[in-house]
Structure 1
Amino acid sequence: MAKLGFLGLGIMGGPMAKRLVAAKHEVALWSHSKGKAEALGGNACATPRAVAEASDCVFLCVGDTAMSREVIFGKDGLLAGAKKGLVIVDCSTISPKESRQMAEELSTSGIEFLDAPCTGSKGGAEAGTLTFMVGGNREVFDRVKPWFEPMGKQFYYCGASGQGLHAKLSQNMILGNLLQAFNESIVLSTKAGVPPELMLEIIENSAAKSGLVSLKAPLVFKRDFDPRFSVKWLEKDMQLMLDSAADLNVPVPLTALSRQMYRAAIAKGFGEEDICGSIRLLEDLAGCEVTTNQ
Structure 2
Amino acid sequence: MAMKKVGLIGAGLMGHGIGKNIVTKGYELTVLGHRNRAPIDDLIAKGAKEGKTPRAVAEASDVVFLCVTGSPQVEDLIYRKDGLLDGMKPGLIIADCSTAEPTSTKKVAEAVHAKGGRFVDVPMVRTPKEAEEGKLGLMTGGDEKTLKEIRPILDCFADTIIHAGPVGAGHTLKLINNFIAIGTAAVVAEGIAAGLKAGVDMKALNDIVMAGGARSVMFERIIKVPLADDDSAAKFAIDNARKDVRYYTNMTETMPLASPVAEAVHQTLVLGAAQGYGQRYVPRLVNLACSLNGIKL
TM-score range, shorter chain: over 0.9
Query: After the TM superposition, which residues 1-294 of structure 1 pair with which residues of structure 2 at under 5 Å, given as runs?
Result: 2-33=4-35, 35=37, 36-41=39-44, 42-225=48-231, 228-290=235-297
Kindly state the Cα deviation for residue 225 of structure 1 after the two structures are TM-superposed.
3.6
**Deviation by residue 1:164-221 (Cα, 9 ceiling, x = unmatched):** 0110111111111111111111110111111112101110011111111112311443
Counterpart code for 1:93 = T
Counterpart code for 2:279 = E
Report if the CA contact (8 A) 1:16-1:151 is conserved: yes
Where does the alignment leave 5 or more consecutive residues of structure 2 unmatched? none
Kindly state the Cα deviation for residue 20 of structure 1 after the two structures are TM-superposed.
0.7
Look up the SS of the partner of 1:78 in the other structure. coil
Report if the CA contact (8 A) 2:88-2:116 is conserved: no
Cα distance in 1 for partners of 2:204, 2:91 equals 57
Where does the alignment leave 5 or more consecutive residues of structure 1 unmatched? none
Change in Cα spacing, 1:34 to 1:261, as seen in structure 2 (3 Å) is: closer
Cα distance in 2 for partners of 1:244, 1:2 equals 36
Report if the CA contact (8 A) 1:38-1:44 is conserved: no
**Deviation by residue 1:51-104 (Cα, 9 ceiling, x = unmatched):** 111100010100111110111221111111121100000000011100011111
Look up the SS of the partner of 1:24 in the other structure. coil
What percent identity do the matched residue pairs reach? 29
Cα distance in 1 for partners of 2:252, 2:183 equals 15
Look up the SS of the partner of 1:80 in the other structure. coil
Counterpart code for 2:58 = A
Cα distance in 2 for partners of 1:5, 1:289 equals 47
TM-score for both structures, normalised by structure 1: 0.95
Kindly state the Cα deviation for residue 34 of structure 1 after the two structures are TM-superposed.
5.0
Report if the CA contact (8 A) 1:122-1:229 is conserved: no
TM-score for both structures, normalised by structure 2: 0.94
Report if the CA contact (8 A) 2:246-2:266 is conserved: yes
Kindly state the Cα deviation for residue 37 of structure 1 after the two structures are TM-superposed.
2.1
Report if the CA contact (8 A) 2:123-2:140 is conserved: yes
Report if the CA contact (8 A) 2:221-2:231 is conserved: no
Kindly state the Cα deviation for residue 18 of structure 1 after the two structures are TM-superposed.
1.2
Cα distance in 2 for partners of 1:65, 1:221 equals 37
Counterpart code for 2:29 = V
Look up the SS of the partner of 2:257 in the other structure. coil
Deviates more, 1:225-234 or 1:145-154: 225-234
**Deviation by residue 1:131-156 (Cα, 9 ceiling, x = unmatched):** 10011111100111111111100001
Kindly state the Cα deviation for residue 38 of structure 1 after the two structures are TM-superposed.
2.7
Look up the SS of the partner of 1:81 in the other structure. coil
